[in-house]
């Protein structure tokens, strides 16, 4: 956003857009559900949703606050293995975010370093503020997402998936704890 003089104002934003071939059906419902989930999960360690836009003839998109530090995966690739103190602090923040989600019957189902964002770039010894992102395949028990995934189907990233995900069992908070 820019002011009358063309100077940037407000927060930087990230825009998640669906490919044209995927801007209908279950992909659109997942993006819309992600926006609703993010708005309900307002927390310092969960990415902040600024809006969801769906206009006739336009690709739908989700707007979130841009996290300057990139993903946890990018951070580790850049700085190398994290000191125990830093890793524990990051895990603590992720668990605080998951606690809020789980209290509202939301299971992320795709928790991984790529879906944990840092608010700023930092060194290996600094403790970053992190936010959990990408609730696109989250499961809301008793909610909107119950019909988006067929029973017995696998969703998530295999390297971080809990055993029950491979067995096609319903996800629980333990699914996210395993990934953490």
DSSP string, 48-97: PEEEEE--TTS--EEEEE--TT-BHHHHHHHH-SPPHHHHHHHHHHHHHH
Q: Give the strands of the sheet with 61-65, arranged side by side.
A: 13-17, 61-65, 49-53
- C-alpha–C-alpha distance, residues 37 and 31, integer Å: 10
Strand duo 130-132 + 116-118: pairing: antiparallel
Q: Is 99 a catalytic residue?
A: no
Which of the following is catalytic: 110, 134, 146, 176? 110
Nearest C-alpha neighbor of 46 from the set 67, 29, 26: 67
Catalytic positions, written as ranges: 110
């Amino acid at each position: 956003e820019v002011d009358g003089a063309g100077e940037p104002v407000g927060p930087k934003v990230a825009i998640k857009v669906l490919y044209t071939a995927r801007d209908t059906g279950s992909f659109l419902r997942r993006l819309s559900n992600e926006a609703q989930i993010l708005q309900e999960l307002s927390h310092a360690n969960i990415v902040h949703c600024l809006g969801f836009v769906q206009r006739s003839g336009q690709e739908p998109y989700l707007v979130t606050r841009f996290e300057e530090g990139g993903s946890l995966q990018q951070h580790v690739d850049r700085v190398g293995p994290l000191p125990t103190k830093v890793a524990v602090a990051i895990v603590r923040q992720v668990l605080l975010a998951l606690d809020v989600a789980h209290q509202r019957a939301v299971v992320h189902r795709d928790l991984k370093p790529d879906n944990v964002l840092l608010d700023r770039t930092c060194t290996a010894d600094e403790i970053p503020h992190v936010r959990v992102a990408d609730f696109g395949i989250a499961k809301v028990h008793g909610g909107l997402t119950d019909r988006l995934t067929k029973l017995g189907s696998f969703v998530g990233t295999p390297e971080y998936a809990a055993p029950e995900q491979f067995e096609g069992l319903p996800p629980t908070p333990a699914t996210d704890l395993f990934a953490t």
